[in-house]
Amino acid sequence: MKPFVKSARLDQLGITASLACAIHCAALPFVISTLPLWGLGFLANSWVEITMICLSLVIGVWSLASAYPKHKKITPIAVLLAGFGSIALGHYFIESLEAILIPLGGFTIAAAHFINWKYSRSCQHS
């Protein structure tokens, strides 16, 4: 039985979503005052950030869980957890470093997908 969505496609989607989240979080402090001029004031709302984080979480868990039986490597899962840990630290515990920790978490999540994708490509025998 073929999977509904291939793991490689999920990793590509996860990389895209995570990088978009990281760029959003890194750039928002610099452009927040100009967003209404461009009609993009909604990007400053917290629901946009929460939606991006939830989307990254769902795609990350789905992608890594579907690829784990294929390559049996724990590294992508550990990197994914580190990325979400960085985001949680920035949001809830070390708010003074939020502008650094949250984009770092997004890039770390993208790295987890990249590592997962590389591992999945290296074992085509499934």
> What are the tens digits of pLDDT across the range 23-79?
777 776 676 666 666 676 676 678 877 888 888 888 889 889 998 998 999 999 999
Residue 37 amino acid letter: L
Domain borders along the chain are: 7-122
pLDDT the model gives residue 115: 94
pTM: 0.73
> What are the tens digits of pLDDT across the range 48-59?
778 888 888 888
Q: What is the DSSP string of 24-60?
A: HHHHHHHHTTTHHHHT-GGGGSHHHHHHHHHHHHHHH
Contact 7, 70 (CB under 8 A): yes
**How far apart are alpha carbons 47 and 68 in whole angstroms?**
31
